[in-house]
Amino acid sequence: METHDYLALEDRYAAHNYAPLDVVLHRAEGVYVFDIEGRRYLDCLAAYSAVNQGHQHPRIVEALRKQAATLALTSRAFRNDRFGPFCKKLSELLGYAKVLMMNTGAEAVETAIKAARKWGYEIKGIPRDQALILVFDGNFHGRTTTIIGFSTDEDARRDFGPFTPGFPVLPYGDLREVEAFFEKEAHRIAAVFLEPIQGEAGVIPPPPEFLPGLRRLCDQHQALLICDEIQSGLGRAGELLAHHAFGVRADGVTIGKALSGGLYPVSAFLADQEVMQVFTPGTHGSTFGGNPLACAVAEAALDVLVDEDLCARSKELGEHFRMGLLALDSPKIQEVRGLGLWIGLQLEDHAGPARPYCEALKNRGILAKDTHGHTIRFAPPLIIEKSEIDEALLKIGEVLR
């Protein structure tokens, strides 16, 4: 079969809920993916940062292989010998007392929402069913009906209602508006929930005073600050947790994606005991959450992150990539933003939409993703070499010209 045969099968038999680039991948290694005709591409999306450690990292593959042949799933009705040690490692690495493991990112977000609400009622004393969780426009937190209910992306929401109440949406980056909202409703606010850098919106960092300001408001009014680090965390932004770059510590975080290095869906919600104590037996769970295969894979993925110093690499090489893009000095570039190896290249309006640029990059052996019309996102695996970035910059320059 050739590329067009695979496209035809997808078209005929798969739901059309994505519009992928027309490249059919078969194999991957490190920063490269290969299509069915054997053409090689530099992966500048890294599966939305699930593959920060690089494709088929040998240490993670080996952990997967070994654990798959030993014990894969027990359910939490019984205990397994990978769960406790993994929770200890994750808790110590990220600095939160407790871990609650799930599978996909959206499930970790649902867990954070449930924790915040229950904490609001049981600890803060919010009257039943009155709790609010503040969120921000341009957010992306996943695809469940509750989560899309507070999305501001019309495609994500339209005709999926009615939605879960209790999620006021405020302008991202506007501390004044948040302050004003707290003045009116502080007694009902359980949490402020946000991406410390908005990913799907186009890699958008907030103004530097935003997160410290939210931290102060949450402290003043006894509310939780919870960061969704599913895409921004685990090295992508040059830190284990991106919100640390703004000098604050959140009361809870959601992580996923790179937690498994792309080999298995693993996610988690982390918080300190005051928050996590609201979960008692029977109040929350998941058949696959915390299974031994997930724990073994995620443990290896975290070891790779630490042993290969991927946060520092991300910081250093991200700077190099951004400087290189600016040095292209293209009249089509309006802005280059981001932190670490997480870059949003915003095109000028006159340059037209980003998608044809991504198609042209694909034809030159680079896979990148357009987002929200005029932004191209570059987020390669964090193991990328400087020389590979330089090669990519040459091709990006060509395409922009």
Ligand X SMILES: *Cc1c(COP(=O)(O)O)cnc(C)c1O
Comparison of 140 and 172: residue with beta carbon closer to ligand X: 140
Structure tokens at 215: 């931290």
- Per-residue H/E/C for 314-356: HHHHHHHHHHHHHHCCCCCEEEEEECCCCEEEEECHHHCCCHH
C-alpha angle with apex 271: 269 to 274, nearest 5 degrees?
A: 135
228 touches ligand X (CB under 6 A): yes
Comparison of 226 and 275: residue with beta carbon closer to ligand X: 226
Comparison of 67 and 104: residue with beta carbon closer to ligand X: 104
| Active-site annotation holds for 228 | yes
| Active-site annotation holds for 118 | no
230 touches ligand X (CB under 6 A): yes
Comparison of 105 and 381: residue with beta carbon closer to ligand X: 105
Q: Cα 235 from chain centroid? A: 11
Give the bridge partners for 318, in sequence order. none
Q: Are 136 and 171 in contact (CB under 8 A)?
A: yes
From the candidates 140, 150, 210, 279, give the one annotated as an active-site residue.
140
79: which DSSP letter?
-
Comparison of 67 and 139: residue with beta carbon closer to ligand X: 139
| Active-site annotation holds for 257 | yes
Q: How far is the CB of 241 from ligand X (least distance, A)?
A: 13
Q: 83, 140, 182, 193: which one contacts ligand X (CB under 6 A)?
A: 140
Give the interface segment with ligand X, choosing from 56-64, 140-148, 204-212, 295-303 (CB under 6 A). Answer: 140-148
Write out the binding residues for ligand X, residues 162-221 only, by CB under 6 A.
195, 199
124: which DSSP letter?
I
On the 0-12 / 13-18 / 19+ scale of CB atoms within 10 A, 137 is middle
Residue bearing tokens 């079969």: 1
104 touches ligand X (CB under 6 A): yes
Q: How far is the CB of 195 from ligand X (least distance, A)?
A: 5
Q: 24, 63, 101, 109: which one contacts ligand X (CB under 6 A)?
A: 109
Q: Is the dihedral of CA 210, 211, 216, 217 positive or negative?
A: positive
**Amino acid at residue number 152:** T
Helices 386-400 & 355-363 angle (0-180, nearest 10): 120
Write out the binding residues for ligand X, residues 347-386 only, by CB under 6 A.
none
Q: How far is the CB of 229 from ligand X (least distance, A)?
A: 8
Residues 6 or more apart whose Cβ sits within 8 Å of residue 13: none
Q: 54, 120, 138, 142: which one contacts ligand X (CB under 6 A)?
A: 142
Q: 82, 124, 141, 244: which one contacts ligand X (CB under 6 A)?
A: 141
Q: How far is the CB of 259 from ligand X (least distance, A)?
A: 10
206: which DSSP letter?
P
Give the interface segment with ligand X, choosing from 1-9, 99-107, 368-376, 381-389 (CB under 6 A). Answer: 99-107
The residue nearest ligand X at its CB is 105
Give the interface segment with ligand X, choosing from 37-45, 76-84, 105-113, 318-326 (CB under 6 A). Answer: 105-113
Residue ranges of the alpha helices (H) in 173-209? 175-185
Q: How far is the CB of 150 from ligand X (least distance, A)?
A: 12
Helices 83-94 & 292-307 angle (0-180, nearest 10): 30
Q: How many residues of this chain interact with ligand X, rule: CB under 6 A?
A: 14
Structure tokens at 271: 């918080």
Comparison of 170 and 396: residue with beta carbon closer to ligand X: 170
SS3 293: helix
Residue bearing tokens 């060509």: 398
Site residues for ligand X per CB under 6 A: 48, 104-106, 109, 140-142, 195, 199, 228, 230-231, 256
Catalytic residue numbers read: 140, 228, 257
